[in-house]
Amino acid sequence: MGGKDGRKRELAADAPAEGTKLTRKDYEAELKRLHGELVALQEWAKTTGAKICIIFEGRDTAGKGGTIKAIMERVSPRVFRVVALPAPTEREKTQMYAQRYLPHLPAGGEIVIFDRSWYNRAGVERVMGFCTEEQAVKFLDTIAAVEKAIVESGVILLKYWLEVSEEEQTRRIEQRIRDPRKIWKLSPMDLKSYSRWYDYSRARDAMFAASDTPWAPWYVADSNDKRRARLNIISHLLSKIPYGAIKREKVKLPQRQKPHGYEEPEDIRHHVPDVF
């Protein structure tokens, strides 16, 4: 596969020119190729015992869920695992803040994706008043050291912030309001968060200042164009991991056994009607 540098050139070879319209056909063709690379990454991680952790953060409607879905579409959920924790229990509220996330970090041969992470404390909890300002500042003072320990344990840690404009966020939220297929995505908390754009901007800036480190930098992706954002993020994360091709034995189908008198039953009691 040409080594790490060769792979980077390969991943960028078919990228659309800036400013051109990315058609669905072009998007699906590029995503298909990247899916093949994600499977190669998966097999490499299984073989080498690599530990990979990917964090996705961003404003509401920024496209985190769609990006994660695009990553997960063709890989094994036994290797790639998505973690999206619910609100903390009363017991978890008394723990060190990052503690409930730590058991979900990857073991050897695993790739864990956090759909929101310990950075909830720096974002939604701080802005919406679910923690005190003192708690938020204390978190930001310590999280860089926690992540350094994670990285020094052998975990490849990648952190992505999906950035969406005010206008595009408004368009997407209004679309959720109108579309019965998407209304479930809109919560009362989303509406409250929508009104606090600049509070979130300040919280994001403080988070970057405290936790954009040499060992765990933040990577910002423009997500106004969801298709481009997905391709850009997948290409980037592949470029940041030194995976390579794993040699596999050639697959040959075995001969199927003889029926030895078996006959299919004529009457199936419960059959799904052929409506279509």
Give domain limits for the chain. Answer: 37-88+98-165+193-240
Least confident of 153-162, 187-196, 198-207: 187-196
**What band does 19 get if pLDDT is binned at 50, 70 and 90?**
low
Q: What is the pLDDT of residues 35-55, one digit of tens each?
A: 999 999 999 999 999 999 999
With CA atoms as reference, report the closest residue to 111 among 240, 256, 257. Answer: 240
Averaged pLDDT score across all residues of the chain: 92
Residue 133 and residue 7: Cα distance in Å, rounded?
Answer: 45
**What band does 207 get if pLDDT is binned at 50, 70 and 90?**
very high
Contact (CB, 8 A) for 84 and 116:
yes
CATH class of 37-88+98-165+193-240: alpha beta
Residue 271 and residue 53: Cα distance in Å, rounded?
Answer: 44
With CA atoms as reference, report the closest residue to 51 among 159, 151, 161. Answer: 151
Check whether 246 has a pLDDT greater than 70.
yes
Q: What is the pLDDT of residues 147-184, one digit of tens each?
A: 999 999 999 999 999 999 999 999 999 999 999 998 88
